[in-house]
Amino acid sequence: MAYVPTKNWVSGNTLTASDLQGNLDGMKDYCHDVTAGDLKATQWADTKHIMPGVIDAQTTVTNNCSGMFGGQQHSWQTLNYTFLTRWNTTRSAATTRYLIIPETTFTVDAGRPGTMFFQWWIQEQSRNDGYTDGLSFIYAESDNEENDSYHKFPEQSDAQIVGGATFTPGLNISATRYSSGFLVEDGTTASFGVGLKGRSENGQCAIFSWGVSIELFYL
């Protein structure tokens, strides 16, 4: 049967906090046990979907009846940095290995397959250490499918002044760069991981700040 409030006000009644709270509590109880007969004939949701959202305090991701969303960021340069280097990603044998950038990933345990939208931004700094190229590569990927569209970051560059002389204006100007991107997937699996990976041909690619967010829709 449909929800029936414990208190119905008529003209002249006094609105009290206890009566209002009683109605709100009754609605909460009802939402935990909605019967199939109370839903429309063209059912828009299953009874198991009517439930309160659950928040993951570590990743700040909220799971709701229609999907999940959340995000996190690292935005202050006096905190700990993350580093990509050629020593642990682009090795002497010319083989490459992309590493997960810490704290930029989500482990998704969805209620069912859905459509995912993952977006990110990043600030990195690569100083010139005299090594060939010195490029760094960052991209987003999930367990559902491989992504080959990486973002490329050059190492620190020298500026030129009139007359052809070069000078180094400083790491914060000539070696710091920003980028952003997104990843959209339709028909994801119920459980998967998604986040940022990277590798570098430079001795030091410092990830100063970043932000990631995820939205996943069931309907």
pLDDT at residue 52 tops 90: no
pLDDT, averaged across the chain: 80
Tell me how far CA of residue 195 lies from CA of 5, 34, 84, 103, 150, in angstroms: 45, 36, 16, 9, 13
Q: Tell me, yes or no, whether 125 and 36 share the same domain.
A: no
pLDDT at residue 69 tops 80: yes
pLDDT of 47 = 61
Q: Tell me, yes or no, whether 18 and 114 share the same domain.
A: no
pLDDT of 162 = 62
Instruction: Yes or no: say if 211 and 103 are a contact pair by the CB < 8 Å rule.
Output: no
pLDDT at residue 93 tops 80: no
Confidence of residue 121 (pLDDT cuts 50, 70, 90): very high
Question: Which whole number is the average pLDDT over 22-48?
Answer: 72
Q: Tell me, yes or no, whether 1 and 76 share the same domain.
A: no
For residue 75, the tally of other CB atoms under 10 A from its CB is 11
What is the model's pTM? 0.67
pLDDT of 118 = 93
Confidence of residue 214 (pLDDT cuts 50, 70, 90): very high
pLDDT higher at 13 or 39: 13
Residue 115: domain span? 53-217
Domain count, the chain: 2
Question: Which whole number is the average pLDDT over 185-199?
Answer: 85
Q: Tell me, yes or no, whether 103 and 147 share the same domain.
A: yes
Please identify, among 50, 73, 90, the residue that sits at the C-terminal boundary of a domain: 50
Q: Tell me, yes or no, whether 6 and 62 share the same domain.
A: no
C-alpha span between 11 and 70 (Å, rounded): 44
Tell me how far CA of residue 51 lies from CA of 44, 54, 154, 180, 218, in angstroms: 15, 9, 48, 35, 14
Question: Which whole number is the average pLDDT over 60-81?
Answer: 79
pLDDT higher at 158 or 27: 27
Question: Which whole number is the average pLDDT over 80-96?
Answer: 69
- The pLDDT tens digits for 136-190 are 888 898 888 777 788 888 887 766 666 667 666 777 777 788 899 999 988 777 7
| C-alpha 145: how far from chain center | 17
pLDDT higher at 89 or 205: 205
Please identify, among 13, 30, 50, the residue that sits at the C-terminal boundary of a domain: 50
Q: Tell me, yes or no, whether 105 and 60 share the same domain.
A: yes
C-alpha span between 104 and 156 (Å, rounded): 24
pLDDT higher at 21 or 164: 21
Phi, psi (degrees; rounded to nearest 5) at 173: -105, -50
pLDDT of 25 = 87
